[in-house]
């Protein structure tokens, strides 16, 4: 797919959209997971805080102890990441977990309200960051009320590590999802652009003369394009038909004057004015060739691309050769035909006769004693080759042959339009004409016809 491909643009846009959406989704899921873990951690800390408050015992001497140890063994492991601490409100440290070792949590000195939990982010042992929950509990004793600040902390690295693990597991899943979505986007683009491919195939079928217009069921978004193409084809048909009618009118209008000129030339010859008569006849013949050429071009423009045309190469060329063999020049030529049976070309029979007739007449005109005519199939084309044993053509004039009115010998009768007409008909059908000298002598003309 090229850079200007609509399919490529849509796929690239889809890939970027999918990547951006999944990246945002990944960041959002990571943040949601971290918030969820933090809520669970705070709930866990609140549970520990309630357990401590329930098991706290203050003796007669004012010493604070826990009636039972907490269930989590991390409280007994040094610097395990889970800690608790008891402090007299506005007073000294009472108790702390063994996991704190000799470290004291730097709790803020803000005032606390009983029953209200305060959350803090505080520095912990060994340069850690702790998520701490603190609450004030009032104990009533005979000696008076005691206000104890209970603080429970958790190393935030545990939350970060859990979030990192989640992210590590999420990335492969998102990558797989991205691949699935890209494949789905490719399928969607392919299905979405299929009507345009159908339009392309339809246009190609019109060019190949298999259809007259675009037909079939197309999506509503494509129908305006289909309608415009069909309208354009109809307008082209109408314009070609008008041009054909004008050309036909012109040809019929000139037919009578040309007949009169030919008659006048004959009268002048009878009077002994042979030079003037020949000149008039040459002019009339040239004008007739031009008219025939324009009529042929108009007919081709009307026929090519509008219907399925076929001609049997062996039949058409064989008839032309049989006709030329009865001419004075053709009788003196040794003909070598190699035309496979059943070789058909996508050309109207009259146009094939025009092409082959001009090429064969040229070969008869310049050949000395033999002409070889052969044909073969080459992929989607049929190659017709005509070789004569004449003097050939100087290399510097090869390119000029086949151009309108180009003639190498003005002494030989002709208008120089034969090869030009053959070339134009071939090009109208998507074919080509090539000329070249043969190493053994003579000229080889090759016509490439659509199979």
Q: Are 381 and 443 in contact (CB under 8 A)?
A: no
DSSP annotation of 98: G
266 and 360 housed in the same domain? no
HSE-CB at 261 with a 13 A cutoff on CA atoms is 17
Express each pLDDT in 124-163 by its tens digit: 898 889 999 898 888 876 666 788 888 899 998 888 888 8
Domain boundary among 270, 287, 303: 303
As a whole number, mean pLDDT of residues 188-208 equals: 80
53 and 150 housed in the same domain? yes
- Of 75-89, 104-118, 294-308, 402-416, which range is least confident? 402-416
As a whole number, mean pLDDT of residues 376-388 equals: 85
Question: Is residue 328 scored above 80 in pLDDT?
Answer: no
Residue 106 belongs to a domain: yes
Number of H helices, E strands in the chain: 9, 14
Q: Tell me what pLDDT residue 434 has.
A: 82
Residue 399 belongs to a domain: yes
Question: Is residue 402 scored above 90 in pLDDT?
Answer: no
**CATH number of the domain to which 390 belongs:** 3.30.565.10
Question: Cα 210 to the chain's mean position, in Å?
Answer: 25
- Which helix (H) or strand (E) segment holds residue 131: the answer is strand 128-141
Q: Tell me what pLDDT residue 266 has.
A: 78
As a whole number, mean pLDDT of residues 418-436 equals: 80
Q: Tell me what pLDDT residue 414 has.
A: 45
Both tokens assigned to 336: 């070598």
- 112-115 contacts at long range (C-beta below 8 A, 24 or more positions apart): 112/136, 112/149, 114/138, 114/147
Residue 213 belongs to a domain: no
Residue 447 CA to residue 317 CA, distance in Å, equals: 13
81 and 135 housed in the same domain? yes
Question: Cα 7 to the chain's mean position, in Å?
Answer: 4
284 and 201 housed in the same domain? no
Residue 217 belongs to a domain: no
Residue 391 belongs to a domain: yes
Question: Cα 408 to the chain's mean position, in Å?
Answer: 50
Express each pLDDT in 216-259 by its tens digit: 777 777 788 878 877 888 887 788 777 777 776 776 677 677 77
Question: Is residue 20 scored above 90 in pLDDT?
Answer: yes
Express each pLDDT in 263-296 by its tens digit: 777 777 777 777 777 777 777 777 776 676 666 6
Q: Tell me what pLDDT residue 173 has.
A: 92
Residue 294 belongs to a domain: yes
Q: Tell me what pLDDT residue 297 has.
A: 63
Map 72-114 to HEC letters: CHHHHCCCCCEEEEEEECCCCEEEECHHHCCCCCCCCCCCCCC
* Averaged confidence pLDDT in the chain: 80
133 and 199 housed in the same domain? yes
Q: Tell me what pLDDT residue 400 has.
A: 57
With b meaning 16 or more CB within 10 Å and e meaning fewer, what string describes 289-326? bbbebbebbbbbbebbbbeebebbbeebbeebbeebee
Q: Tell me what pLDDT residue 262 has.
A: 76
Domain boundary among 150, 173, 207: 207
Q: Which of 437, 428, 435, 434 is nearest to 448 (CA)?
A: 434
17 and 157 housed in the same domain? yes
Express each pLDDT in 161-179 by its tens digit: 888 899 999 999 999 999 9
Question: Is residue 409 scored above 60 in pLDDT?
Answer: no
Expressed as residue numbers, the domain containing 123 is 1-207
Residue 215 belongs to a domain: no
**CATH number of the domain to which 234 belongs:** 1.10.287
Domain tally for the chain? 3
Residue, of 79 and 415, whose pLDDT is higher: 79
Residue 140 belongs to a domain: yes
Residue 389 CA to residue 69 CA, distance in Å, equals: 119
HSE-CB at 407 with a 13 A cutoff on CA atoms is 12
By residue count, the chain amounts to 451
Express each pLDDT in 333-364 by its tens digit: 888 888 888 888 888 888 888 888 888 888 88
297 and 356 housed in the same domain? no
Q: Tell me what pLDDT residue 398 has.
A: 67
Q: Are 151 and 136 in contact (CB under 8 A)?
A: no
Q: Are 220 and 228 in contact (CB under 8 A)?
A: no
Q: Tell me what pLDDT residue 181 has.
A: 92
Q: Tell me what pLDDT residue 413 has.
A: 45
178 and 60 housed in the same domain? yes
Neighbours of 348 (CB within 10 A): 20
- Which helix (H) or strand (E) segment holds residue 128: the answer is strand 128-141
Question: Is residue 205 scored above 60 in pLDDT?
Answer: yes
150 and 59 housed in the same domain? yes
> Which strands, in side-by-side order, build the sheet including 82-88?
93-96, 82-88, 144-155, 128-141, 118-124
250 and 149 housed in the same domain? no
DSSP annotation of 165: H
Neighbours of 397 (CB within 10 A): 12
Task: Tell me how many degrees the CA angle 421-427-429 measures, rounded to the nearest 5.
Answer: 110
With b meaning 16 or more CB within 10 Å and e meaning fewer, what string describes 352-387? bbbbbbbbbbbbbebbeeebbbebeeeeebbbbbbb
Domain boundary among 275, 303, 331: 303
Residue, of 67 and 47, whose pLDDT is higher: 47
114 and 240 housed in the same domain? no
47 and 118 housed in the same domain? yes
């Amino acid at each position: 797919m090229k850079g200007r491909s609509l399919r490529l643009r849509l796929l690239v846009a889809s890939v970027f959209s999918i990547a951006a959406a999944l990246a945002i989704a990944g960041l959002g899921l990571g943040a949601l997971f971290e918030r969820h873990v933090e809520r669970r951690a705070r709930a866990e800390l609140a549970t520990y805080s309630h357990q401590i408050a329930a098991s706290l015992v203050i003796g007669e001497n004012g010493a604070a102890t826990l009636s039972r140890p907490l269930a989590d063994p991390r409280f007994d492991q040094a610097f395990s990441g889970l800690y608790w601490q008891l402090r007299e409100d506005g007073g000294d440290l009472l108790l702390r977990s063994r996991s704190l070792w000799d470290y004291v949590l730097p709790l803020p000195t803000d005032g606390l309200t009983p029953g209200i939990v305060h959350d803090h982010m505080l520095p912990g042992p060994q340069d850690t960051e702790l998520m701490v929950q603190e609450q004030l509990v009032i104990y009533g004793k005979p000696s008076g009320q005691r206000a104890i600040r209970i603080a429970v902390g958790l190393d935030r690295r545990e939350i970060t590590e859990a979030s990192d693990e989640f992210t590590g597991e999420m990335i492969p899943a998102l990558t797989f999802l991205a691949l699935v979505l890209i494949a789905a986007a490719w399928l969607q683009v392919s299905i979405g652009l299929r009507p345009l491919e159908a339009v392309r195939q339809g246009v190609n079928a019109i060019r190949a003369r298999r259809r007259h217009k675009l037909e079939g069921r197309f999506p509503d978004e494509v129908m305006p394009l289909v309608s415009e193409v069909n309208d354009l084809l109809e307008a082209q048909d109408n314009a070609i038909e008008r041009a054909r009618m004008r050309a036909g009118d012109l040809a019929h209008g000139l037919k009578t004057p040309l007949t009169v000129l030919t008659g006048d030339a004959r009268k002048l010859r009878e009077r002994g004015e042979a030079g003037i008569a020949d000149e008039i006849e040459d002019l009339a013949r040239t004008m007739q060739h031009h008219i025939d050429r324009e009529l042929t071009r108009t007919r081709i423009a009307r026929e090519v691309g509008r219907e399925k045309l076929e001609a049997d190469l062996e039949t058409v060329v064989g008839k032309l050769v049989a006709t030329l063999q009865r001419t004075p020049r053709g009788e003196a030529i040794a003909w070598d035909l190699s035309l496979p049976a059943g070789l058909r070309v996508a050309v109207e029979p009259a146009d094939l006769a025009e092409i082959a007739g001009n090429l064969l007449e040229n070969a008869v005109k310049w050949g000395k004693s033999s002409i070889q005519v052969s044909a073969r199939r080459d992929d989607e084309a049929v190659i017709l080759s005509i070789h004569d044993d004449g003097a050939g053509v100087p290399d510097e004039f090869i390119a000029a042959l086949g151009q309108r009115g180009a003639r190498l010998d003005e002494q030989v009768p002709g208008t120089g339009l034969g090869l030009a007409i053959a070339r134009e008909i071939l090009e109208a059908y998507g074919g080509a004409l090539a000329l070249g000298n043969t190493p053994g002598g003579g000229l080889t003309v090759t016509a490439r016809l659509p199979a």
